[in-house]
Amino acid sequence: MIRYSISPADLNHRITALKPTWFGRAQAALDELPHEPKSSDFKGLWSEIKDLYIDLQHSKCAFCEKPLEGRIEHDVEHFRPKTGVDAWHPPNDLVQAGIKVKQPGNGHTEPGYRLLAYHPFNYAATCKNCNTVFKQNLFPIAGTRKPDAKRRPAISTERPYLIYPIGDADDDPEELIEFTGCVPQPAKGAGHDRFRAQTTISISKLDDPVERRVFYQGRAKAIQSMFLNLVAIDDSAEAALVAAAKKNVRRMLQDAEPFVNCLRLLPPALCAIACGSDAGIHRPDGTPRFNFPLVEDVCCGTDC
Task: Provide DSSP, 157-216.
Answer: HH-BSSPP-BSSSSPPHHHHEEEETTEEEESSSSSHHHHHHHHHHHHTTTT-TTTTHHHH
Closest CA to 215 of 245, 240, 244, 184: 184
Furthest-apart CA atoms within the chain: distance in Å: 74
- From CA 293, how far away is CA 304, in angstroms rounded? 9
Determine which helix (DSSP H) or strand (DSSP E) holds 124, and give its type and residue range: strand 123-127
Determine which helix (DSSP H) or strand (DSSP E) holds 109, and give its type and residue range: strand 109-111
**90-95, long-range: CB < 8 A, 24+ apart:** 90/140, 90/199, 90/202, 91/202, 94/195, 94/198, 94/199, 94/202
Residue 228 has a pLDDT of 86
- From CA 63, how far away is CA 65, in angstroms rounded? 6
Determine contact, residues 282/288, Cβ cutoff 8 Å.
Answer: yes
Domain coordinates in residue numbering, the chain: 8-203, 213-295
| pTM recorded for the entire structure | 0.82
Mapped onto helix, strand or coil, the DSSP state of residue 141 is: strand
Residue 37 has a pLDDT of 92
Spell out the per-residue pLDDT of the chain, length 304, in tens: 899 999 999 999 999 999 999 999 999 999 999 988 999 999 999 999 999 999 999 999 999 998 888 777 788 899 999 999 999 999 999 999 999 998 887 778 899 999 999 999 999 999 988 999 999 999 999 999 998 988 887 777 899 999 999 999 899 998 999 888 888 999 999 999 999 999 999 999 999 988 888 888 888 888 888 888 888 887 778 889 888 988 888 888 888 988 888 887 765 555 444 333 343 444 455 554 444 333 344 444 334 3
Helices 8-18 and 22-31: crossing angle in degrees, nearest 10, is 100
Pairing of strands 123-127, 109-111: unpaired
